[in-house]
Structures are given as structure tokens and as C-alpha cells.
Amino acid sequence: MRAVVALFIGLAVVVVVRLVMIQVIEHERHELQADRTWAIETKGPRGAILDRNGFPLATSIDAWEVHVDTRLWARSEFQPTDASRRLAELLRAPESAVLSLAAQTHAGGGHDALIAYGLSNALGAQIHAEALHGVQIRKTSSRRYVEGSMAAQVIGLVGRDEQGLAGLEYQLDGVLAGEAGLLVQEVDGLGQPIPFGPRAERPYQQGASVVLTIDRNLQWLAETTLQRAVEQWHAQGGHIIMMDPRNGDILALASLPTYNPMTIDLDLPESMALLRTRAASDIYEPGSTMKVVTMAAALDAGIVSPDTTFVDTGAVVIDDRTIKNFDLSYHGEQTMTQVLQRSLNTGSVWVAQQLGARTFYEYLYRFGFGDSTLSGLPGEIGGVVTDSTDIRWSPAQLATASFGQGVAVTPLQIVQAYATIARGGVPVRPRLVTAVITEDGVQRFEPQTGTRVISRQTSSTMTWMMQAVVDGVLGHPAQVNGWPVAGKSGTSDVVESGTYLVGESLASFAGFAPANDPRVVVLVRIDRPQGETYGGIVAAPIFSDLMAQVLPYLGVPPTAYIANPGDWDTAPGIDPDAAQETSDGEHEQDALTADVADDEEPASPVTYIQDEEDDQ
């Protein structure tokens, strides 16, 4: 019996000893082994963002990060050591800050503390050569925006971890970001990799590069032109958008105020507002640029023709609200072409009333208002259209919407609507990305068109009428010497928190050229200019200046045409002696003469108006 007891006691002792070995001795061995093994995530380089011609706008360069194995520094309880002192010297940082970063990571259960990033090759190599206790150098990348603030609100920026924060960097983060790899290797007591030691590696994958529709040269032109205009008019900002109506390519998109992604301080509250792509995310009342859409709808519905007349009495009363022309003037019998040339509010109201609310709003939706253009820009919204099905709607809203008040749109929506007219009545989606380049090849994206909005005949007629607005007026400031232009100016009120700001305006001009074979649609909007407020005075000359440079750059040859004063007396639907006055308040003067060539409509002389002031 004693032998049996002794045997059990002996076995118990063996078990206890083995447990001690497992729990204490082998635990220490495994802990030491863990201390001697580092699992390192290797970042895949982010893909580049290129302009349409392959010029880099955003790219990543090699850089280095400094990491500390907190388990090794924890043995000294994160007190100053030779390693921490020397690392702080090399980084030109307080030693207390270096120790604090390591201690905070360790306290949170982490073993890998990021101390510094974005180091140059030279500094990275120097720290690596010093082989400091617990310190490792890892290769990574750093984002660079080659042109600084150029197209910043389109391109966006990345954060410290190279994840997209705004713009296409955010929207296409899953495409641009590389796939991380993993490196497991044995290190020595100082935390340095053991040469030829055991290691396992899963290689990283580089991110794809993205080719934009943006043309770097046109973007520069748009931005410098906008900057000069804002300074000239002491304005608070503005937009210039250029789009190829044939395929929807956004050739340039400039907005002010903007930011430099290399220097912006994201900790400042005001910085966040600068990150928005306001051309797609902010809405405004478009003013008289909307009259083109109203007239196109009426033409397409067969309600009016360019020669249809109405009697302008200078005012119309709807829901006890009196709507007047900008200068309180009246003009008697007017054709629809004159309604656009003079930008008569009363005429637009009359046209909308002939259409009826249901048909009018149907055309607004068909033109894309109320829905996103699906451009791919982050934060894009569809605007606000309050139609007759809304309980808040009233007939007065139909009237004001006809001339661009009481509806809210984005600048990009106006560009898309004008492009629809320019390209024969079929909308095209604004496009910012043409291709994605991966290690496996190139994926190209084709233009996306929508359902026909207006007939080709309506598009042709509307283009002719829009050309009459510009080239049919003596000295219109939007004219471009050598090319026929179709367009419309607009002046709208500034709305903040649901309130109209007295004395503040948004001056705009939208149009396309050449009118007979459109190659580019341009919107110019200057926000809250001082001294002058009207789109025809402020924005139209900017449009003209841009077109005079853009068309030759795109290789569009001038159209030979000369003034023919005799056409003024024979042009349909116009009083050649009538004074040209627009809702923008300026007198538009002097013009080149052109015939609009169109396969589906007989060539007709543009309607010309001579300013009475020129005769006085």
C-alpha cells in the first residue's frame, strides 16, 4: 500500500514539475521567441493619377518609416536609453515624445509603434546603419501632388496612412490603393533582422493607376483665368468647367477657393469645406441660363417656334406675385428668339405656362435636373426641383423656375444640359476617368449616353437661337473672333440658410463652340463679384477669352464668316432696330455674321440686333 502511495506521490511531483516547466520556463522561451520574431506589413505602392496625356498629377515616391518594438523598450520601462536618445537626435524630435509614442502603443496592447514617417532615403539609411536597440526602418511610400493645388478638388488627397480622404483619391481608393504584403522574420536581441535568418514573405501588390479626362494645360488655363477674374472683381470664388460634348470628357474643372494638398492643415475647421468638389456637391439658382432649357422644352413639345410671338407688357401677376423684367421695361410683341436675346422673364413665364406644369417639370427631369450626373465625384447631389406633385408647390413656382429661380442645381448639371443641346439632344454622362492601368493591362471606359431628351431637330433649332443670343447681337462680350458661339448669360441671387442676400449675386455664362460643330462646352461662374453683378458683363468676356485659346489648342480651325448687315432686315422674327437689353442689365453690342450649317435644318441667317445706343 505504501508503495502505491509513493508511486502516486511521485507521479504528482512529476506532473507539477512539468506544469511548472510549461507555465514558466517554456512560456519564457516562447516569449523570447516572440520577442525575436517580427511580423511586418509591407505596404503596396499607391497607383498614380495621370492627366489625359499621361502627365502625372499625383504619384507616390519611396519613403521610410521608423518603428519601435515596444516589448524591447518596455524592459527599461520606457525610460531614456542610448537608443531613444540617439533616435530622437536623428529625428530632431524631443526624446520624451519618442518615448511617449512607444509607451502609448504598448499600453494599448500593441508591440509595433510608428514613431516617424515620410523619411528621406538618406535619413532612413542613417538610422538603419546605427542598428539602434528595438528600432526598425521600413520602406514605404509618400504621396506627392506634382502640380500642387492644380485640380485639387477633383484629385483630392490622402491622409497619413495613404488612404483617400477627398476627391478621386477617396472615391477611387479601392482602385488606387495597393494590397499589403506580409514579412515575418527573426531579429536579434537589439530587434534588428538576422541576416540569412528564417523568414516568410507574402509580396505586396501595387495599386492601379488612373487616367483622367483632365487636360493639364486646359486645367492650368482654367485655374489661372479664374484666379485673375476673382481678383479683378474682388469676388469670393467661382467655377470654370470645360467639357467635350461628344463624349462627356471633363477637360478642366477649376473652383475657388481651393487648397494645396501638400500643405493643407486638416486640423483647421475651415479646411474641411475646401475639400468638397463644389462644382458637383453645392447647389445654386442658375438664373437666366435656365431659360435655354425652358425654351428647348417648348420647342420640342411643339408649343412654340422661333417665330412664335407673345406680347410683353413688362410684368405678369401670378399668385398675387408680380414678376417683372430686370429693368422694368416692356417691349410689346416679341418672338421667342427675342425672348432669349433680351432674356425676358415675362417671356419665359409665358412659355412655361403654355407648356403646363406637368410637361415643364418632365423636361427638367429629362435634362437631368433633380438627379446626380453620375460623374463619379464624391458628394455629388441632384439638386432641388419642387414640382407640381409637391404639397408646397404653387403656380408661382412654375413661373420662377422658368427663368432659373426657385430651383437649385449644380454647375455640373448646367454643363450637362448645355452639352445635351450641343450634341443633338442625347445626354452624355460627365466623365472623369478614361482608363485604369494595372499589372494585367489597361481597362478603358467608354462614354455613357442616356435616353434622348429632345429631338435632333429641336437641338438644331435651339442651337440656332442660342447663337442668335451671342452672334446675333452687336458686340456681345461672349463672341469669339473666328468661331460661331451659342450661349446664354445668367445672373442669380445668393441664397444662404434659405435667405436671399441683398446686393449679392452669382454671375455666369454657359455656352459652346463652334456652334455648328460643338467641340467644347464651357461654364463660367463668378461668385459675388463687386462693382458689377451681371453675367453678361462679368462672366461672358471670360468665356470669350477662354474659347479664343481653347479652340486653337484643340485644333479646331476657324470658321470663315463676315458681317452682312443686310441680313438684319431679312432675318426672321426680329425687329432690326430694337434695342438689345438682357436680364443681365447690360447692352450687348456689335457682332460677326454667320450662317449656321445643319444637315437637318435649312441654313438661316442668325438674328441680329443693333443696339439703339450705337445710333445715339
Where does the pLDDT of residue 390 fall: very low under 50, low under 70, confident under 90, or very high at 90 and above?
Answer: confident
Q: pLDDT confidence of 140, banded at 50, 70, 90?
A: confident
Whole-number pLDDT of residue 602: 30
pLDDT band at 568 (very low <50, low <70, confident <90, very high): very low
From 200, 103, 129, 115, select the one nearest 160 (Cα to Cα). Answer: 115
Q: Please report which confidence band the pLDDT of residue 79 belongs to, taking 50, 70 and 90 as the band edges.
A: confident
3-state secondary structure at position 110: coil
Q: For residue range 227-237, what is the model confidence (pLDDT) as tens digits?
A: 999 999 999 99
Is the confidence at residue 589, as pLDDT, over 50? no
* Tens-digit pLDDT profile for residues 453-491: 999 999 999 999 999 999 998 899 999 999 999 999 999
Q: Can you say whether residue 156 is alpha, beta or left, with left for phi > 0 and alpha for psi between -120 and 50 degrees?
A: left
pLDDT bin (cut points 50, 70, 90) of residue 435 is very high
Q: Where are the domains of the chain?
A: 61-139, 216-615
In 352-440, the DSSP E strands lie at 433-438
pLDDT of 88 strictly over 60 = yes
Angle at 370 between CA 275 and CA 292, to 5 degrees: 100
At 571, give phi and psi (nearest 5°). Answer: -65, 140
Query: What mean pLDDT comes out for the span 155-179?
Result: 93
Whether omega for the bond prior to residue 514 falls within 30 degrees of 0, making it cis, is yes
The amino acid at residue 119 is: L
Among 340, 296, 242, 254, CA closest to 543: 242
Is residue 534 predicted with pLDDT exceeding 90? yes
Query: 183: pLDDT confidence band, cut at 50, 70 and 90?
Result: low
Is residue 601's pLDDT more than 70? Answer: no
Q: What confidence score (pLDDT) does residue 317 get?
A: 94
CA distance 567 to 577: 13
The pLDDT of residue 7 is 44
pLDDT band for position 16 (cuts 50, 70, 90): very low
Mean pLDDT calculated for residue range 149-175: 94
The Cα–Cα gap between 57 and 48 comes to: 8
Q: Cα separation of 20 and 435, whole Å? A: 64
pLDDT band at 158 (very low <50, low <70, confident <90, very high): very high
Query: Which of 212, 176, 209 shows the shortest CA–CA distance to 52?
Result: 212
Tell me what the pLDDT averaged over the chain comes to: 84
In terms of Cα–Cα distance, which of 97, 207, 68, 210 is closest to 141?
207
In this structure, of 58-72, 334-348, 456-470, the range with the lowest mean pLDDT score is 58-72
Q: What are the tens digits of pLDDT across the range 278-310?
A: 999 999 999 999 999 999 999 999 999 999 999
Alpha-carbon gap, residue 380 to 432, rounded angstroms: 13
Higher pLDDT, 590 or 264: 264
Q: What is the average per-residue pLDDT within 197-225?
A: 87
For residue 18, report the phi and psi dihedrals to the nearest 5 degrees.
Answer: -65, -40
Do 61-139 and 216-615 show the same overall fold? no
Instruction: Give 332's pLDDT tier (boundaries 50, 70, 90).
Output: very high
Regarding predicted confidence, which is higher, 543 or 67?
543
Share of the chain above pLDDT 70, in %: 81
- Say if residue 112's pLDDT is above 90: no
Q: How does residue 38 score in pLDDT terms, banded at 50, 70 and 90?
A: low
- Homologous superfamily (CATH) of 216-615 is DD-peptidase/beta-lactamase superfamily (3.40.710.10)
Q: What is the mean pLDDT of residues 128-148?
A: 88
What one-letter code names the amino acid at 372? S
Q: Between 184 and 441, whose confidence is greater? A: 441
Calpha distance 603→585 (Å, rounded): 31
Nearest to 465 by CA among 487, 448, 443: 487
Please determine, for residue 191, whether its predicted confidence score (pLDDT) is greater than 80: no
Q: What is the CATH number of domain 61-139?
A: 3.90.1310.10
Give pLDDT, residue 551. 98
The pLDDT-based confidence of 4 (bands split at 50, 70, 90) is: very low
β-strands 164-166, 157-158 pairing = antiparallel
Length of the chain: 616
When pLDDT is averaged across residues 329-346 and rounded to a whole number, the result is: 94
With 90 as the cut, is the pLDDT of residue 69 above it? no
Task: Read off the pLDDT band of 194 (50, 70, 90).
Answer: low
Is the per-residue pLDDT at 554 higher than 60? yes
